[in-house]
Amino acid sequence: MNIMDIIEKGLAAKEPLLEAEALALLQVQPDSREAFYLRWAGLCKSRALSGGKAEIHAQIGLDSGPCPKVCQFCAFASVNNDPNAPKKPEASLEEVLAYAEGYAEAGANAILLLSTEAYDFDTFLEMGVRVRERIGFGTPLLANTGDLTPAKAEALRNAGFAGLYHALRLGEGEVTDIRQETRLSTMEAARMAGLPLSTCLEPIGPEHSAEAIYAIAAQMLALKPITAGVGRRVAVPGVEASRNGVLSQPQNAVYAAAYRLIDHRSRLTASAHSELMANSGANIAWSEVGSNPRDRESKTESGKGRSIEFIRNLFTEAGWELLSGPSPGWAG
């Protein structure tokens, strides 16, 4: 199998890549000649599918758990926290509204409310309603919360949410206390409720094989998400999975470009952690405030969270134009 031919086939996007072809792309060595060609092709295809535009979505974290779902990679998981430590306070309504207003004024293309499984669902709905009242309907509001029944997905839609971020994580059911079927049925509930999907192959670490990555990619492609792509695991002190190490940026960039060539339809490919990723096809990045499962700071804007301005500069330096206005394709 000639890698250059597979890259050309993925770039042309006329027919789906075979599983063996997708696996070959995911196994390209990051420092090889093929890797640079693959990343160039990923960039070209992202530009073609997005009209040359990158987007910045803004995440507001509402709580820090401790979450009973014990995902080994998550700073909120009870397994990664001292059971005797005092519970971190949840974001107040006024804090959330101020964050949302700031993001709307700064030009975020979408805003996303994030909570753990432990967060009260009615409060989550209330936060959505109040954010909508404060900033109007000009910016799509997405939810990233626990698993959903059809009734809960419907309630999110009725509260003014326009989409759902949800992922079937690498090692779901083994390094998490959630069955794969539960994650997939949440995505189905969202689809039935008219909530388009934002997703990502995450959190990828050095221990994950191309086969494991492809198995989830194939399932996500079938769901026709608006945003997809890859996200490497972030090392957080005291978090169990951090012991397995972190992907290098070039390896992550190979995965981003490979995903871009496998996926012929998503407009947005995650996630631009760096100019290298943005130059390999990643054209969406998240700014983060409040709690963050990839940070120990209770307000991630004082830690790992990046501002809209920082990400705008990253994309501009990488040669992308930024979409102005609401991210298209979400529920009205």
Provide the binding-site residues for ligand SF4, judged by CB under 6 A: 65, 67, 69, 71, 74, 76-77, 116-117, 176, 293
CA distance 173 to 25: 27
For residues 75 and 257, which CB has a smaller minimum distance to ligand SF4 in the complex?
75
Structure-token pair, residue 38: 């693959």
Q: Which is nearer to ligand SF4, 25 or 234 (CB)?
A: 234
Alpha helices in 136-248 (DSSP H): 150-158, 180-193, 210-222
Q: How far is the CB of 16 from ligand SF4 (least distance, A)?
A: 31
Please name the residue that has the structure tokens 């060595």: 29
**Cα 213 to Cα 134, 161, 226, 274, distances in angstroms:** 40, 29, 19, 21
Q: Which is nearer to ligand SF4, 30 or 231 (CB)?
A: 231
- As measured in angstroms, the least distance from the Cβ of 74 to ligand SF4 is 3
The encoded tokens of residue 10 equal 């993925």
Phi first, then psi: give them for residue 142, nearest 5 degrees.
Answer: -110, 155
In the complex with ligand SF4, which residue's Cβ is closer, 10 or 65?
Answer: 65
Output 23 or 77, the one with its CB closest to ligand SF4. Answer: 77
Query: In this complex, which beta carbon is closest to ligand SF4, that of residue 150 or of residue 173?
Result: 173
Find out whether 78 and 297 touch, Cβ atoms under 8 Å: no
Comparison of 117 and 297: residue with beta carbon closer to ligand SF4: 117
Minimum CB separation of residue 85 from ligand SF4 in Å reads: 16
> Whole-number minimum distance, CB 147 to ligand SF4, in Å?
8
Question: At closest approach, how far in Å is the CB of 128 from ligand SF4?
Answer: 18
The DSSP bridge partners found for residue 288 are 59
Judge whether 135 and 100 are in contact, CB under 8 Å.
yes
Q: Smallest distance from the beta carbon of 142 to ligand SF4, in angstroms?
A: 15
- Nearest approach in angstroms of CB 308 to ligand SF4 is 24
Per-residue DSSP letter, 69: T
Pick between residue 76 and residue 165 the one whose CB is nearest to ligand SF4. Answer: 76
Contacts of 326 (CB under 8 A, 6+ apart): 109, 110, 138, 139, 140
Residue that is written with structure tokens 């974001």 in the block:
91
Q: How far apart are CA 309 and CA 177, in angstroms?
A: 37
What does each C-alpha distance from 284 to 164, 194, 314 come to in angstroms? Answer: 16, 22, 11
Compute, in degrees rounded to 10, the torsion defined by CA atoms 14, 20, 25, 26.
130
- Smallest gap from Cβ 48 to ligand SF4, in A, equals 33
Q: Which two tokens stand for residue 176?
A: 């998490």
